[in-house]
Amino acid sequence: MAQLWKSWGVEPDAMIGHSMGEYTAACLAGVMSLEDALALVTVRGRLFEKLAPGSMTSVAIPEAELRPLLPEGLSIAAVNAPELCVASGEAAAIAALERALAERGIEHRPIRIAVAAHSAMVEPILGEFRDFVSSIRLSAPTIPYVSNVTGDWVTPEQAQSPEYWVQHLRSTVRFADGVQKLLGGDDRLVLEVGPGQTLTSLARLAGEDSAERALASLPRPKHDESARHAALTTLGRLWQAGKTIDWEGFHAADPRQRISLPTYPFERKRYWIDADPEVAPGIPADAQPAAADPLASLFHRPVWKRSTAPYTAQAEGEWLVFADPSGPSGRLVDSIASSIPNLTYVEAGERFAQLGPNRFTVQPGSADDHLKLVQALKQRGSFPSRIAHFWSVTTDDESPQRMLELGFYSLLFLAQALSAEAVDEELSLSVVSNHMQRVRDEALLHSEKATLLGVCRVIPQELQNVRCQSLDLSELEDIPAASLLAELSGADDAAETTIAYRGGARWVQTVETSPLPAAEDGRPRCARRACI
């Protein structure tokens, strides 16, 4: 992959690798030959197979806070970001650490690996590893790269020392410090060379402006985007940022003819003005028959119509549910929870905390807490495909401000977090409320909840991968559990976005044309003057 980028004119000014990735950086810098680097990787893997089984877990706190919590025998294997570390060691000690983290509400995630890399458990193989490194030729680097051991530029003495590479196998991977060093230049971009986007995500956590300066060569695993499309998109972004591209090298296998192009990128949006379908072709517009009142069809009003409930419920995939266990929203979730095989629960609390692998607390009025929630869900490896937001099912004694936090602000901050973390999976968002809609002649008890309709309509316009549905109840008994599960499971239906249940009957909101009433002179009102 690195050689492909170099053939396109993308030459590195500096490099960094993560753990074994430093072998690649050293190879590209001329420290070791390709053959020796491959042999080193092979020996490393063979020696790891001799080690006793171990475990590793990722912990979302700074190194200084994690170190006092480590049981005896555990090591900090990596500092991947300012507030993201990896603990490594014996499986029993890692399990004890994870229990302690859960009790403190500290976010953590096991790493699927059976080896305790960069810990004391690798010490039995260091001697044999040292012998092999001593047998290969090591040279001074011709391209600067950052050391995982120090988080600073590697020196010629370190790169040529077998002892350095032994220390590299055992010591903490200081990737966060290395990225900070690498991004020291104001105009420097970092490009991940390899599969996936893990290092890109870590680099974006390095600082406020690092998100726009980290690019990936290839798409995320299980992503619909092709590898070619991802690489060419990144190439375009490098060129747009001012990087000189070797276009002759890029087109070497398939020559192109050069043409002039605009200096701005194509946005892939169509702005063509279509012909007026009301005007027949070939007939002058003034020869067309006189139309009826041009304003007659411009006015509409919302109406409620009876509808049949969905018949089937398919509780597939992962679900994320916002509800209060001790309140009315919790009773609604309890009625359907047994039918949802993979459910993650989010409670309203005073601060963000992870209570377990599938349970979180979030402060409803905190944008930062919602961002931490989305980040925690992404780090699990798969993101819930259905989100059911029940926090707006409240009792009558909630204050208006609290209702806004539980409803409008929580949904707003959730949408902002999904956008900030570039969550591009297809999502269905169902917002369940009570006493918000006036379907018949009932009194509106909580008009503050009408703000939910705004975010439900705007989110799908801002986030093309999210579909929203509003479901309003009068009483909890209005909707049977089977119907509730069917509504939430059928939120993909874009035609029915605003639904209400009253007394067991299902209503759907639509709009219909509402002609203006005629004025006293018989002419349609506002036909020839501005409407007031």
**Cβ 80 vs Cβ 175: under 8 Å:** yes
Torsions phi, psi of 95, nearest 5? -60, -40
Give the pLDDT score at 490: 75
Question: What is the DSSP annotation of 37-88?
Answer: HHHHHHHHHHHHTTSPP-EEEEE-S-HHHHGGGPPTT-EEEEEEETTEEEEE
Torsions phi, psi of 202, nearest 5? -65, -40
- Where do the DSSP E strands lie in 339-446? 343-348, 353-356, 359-362, 386-392, 427-434
**Cβ 213 vs Cβ 185: under 8 Å:** no
Q: In which element (H, E) is residue 229 found?
A: helix 227-240
**Calpha distance 153→29 (Å, rounded):** 13
196's CB contacts (< 8 A; 6+ apart) are: 216, 218, 220, 221
Task: Read off the pLDDT of residues 83-107 as tens digits, 9 standing for 90 and up.
Answer: 999 999 999 999 999 999 999 999 9
Rounded to a whole number, what is the distance in angstroms from the first to the last CA of the chain? 64
228: left (phi over 0), alpha (psi -120 to 50) or beta: alpha
Sign of CA dihedral 483, 484, 489, 491: positive
Strand 15-16 versus strand 84-89 pairing type: unpaired
**Cβ 499 vs Cβ 472: under 8 Å:** yes
Q: Where are the alpha helices (DSSP H) in 111-174?
A: 126-134, 156-159, 162-170
- pLDDT tens, position by position, for the chain (532 residues)? 999 999 999 999 999 999 999 999 999 999 999 999 999 999 999 999 999 999 999 999 999 999 999 999 999 999 999 999 999 999 999 999 999 999 999 999 999 889 999 999 999 999 999 999 999 999 999 999 999 999 999 999 999 999 999 999 999 999 999 999 988 766 788 999 999 999 999 998 876 666 678 999 999 887 888 999 999 999 999 999 889 999 989 988 777 787 888 888 778 888 888 776 665 455 455 555 545 566 667 888 889 999 887 776 677 889 999 999 888 999 999 988 888 888 999 999 999 999 988 999 999 999 999 999 999 999 988 899 999 999 999 988 888 999 999 999 999 999 999 999 999 899 999 999 999 999 988 877 788 899 999 999 999 999 999 999 999 998 888 888 888 998 898 755 557 899 999 988 999 999 888 877 766 655 555 544 444 3
529's CB contacts (< 8 A; 6+ apart) are: none
Strand, coil or helix: what is 173?
strand
- Where do the DSSP E strands lie in 308-400? 319-322, 343-348, 353-356, 359-362, 386-392
Strand 319-322 versus strand 343-348 pairing type: parallel
Task: Read off the pLDDT of residues 333-355 as tens digits, 9 standing for 90 and up.
Answer: 998 888 888 899 999 999 999 99
pTM check: above 0.75 = no
Structure token digits, residue 138: 């090591």
**Calpha distance 130→206 (Å, rounded):** 33
- Give the up-direction half-sphere exposure of residue 299: CA atoms within 13 A in the CB hemisphere: 13
Supply angle C-alpha 528, 529, 532, rounded to 5: 140
The 8 Å CB, 24+ separation contacts for 148-153 are 148/16, 148/17, 148/18, 148/19, 148/22, 148/173, 148/174, 148/175, 148/178, 149/174, 150/174, 150/177, 151/175, 151/176, 151/177, 151/178, 151/180, 151/181, 152/177, 152/178, 152/181, 153/181
Task: Read off the pLDDT of residues 188-210 as tens digits, 9 standing for 90 and up.
Answer: 889 999 999 999 999 988 766 66
18's CB contacts (< 8 A; 6+ apart) are: 78, 80, 148, 173, 175, 199, 202
**Calpha distance 298→531 (Å, rounded):** 12
Length of the chain as a residue count: 532
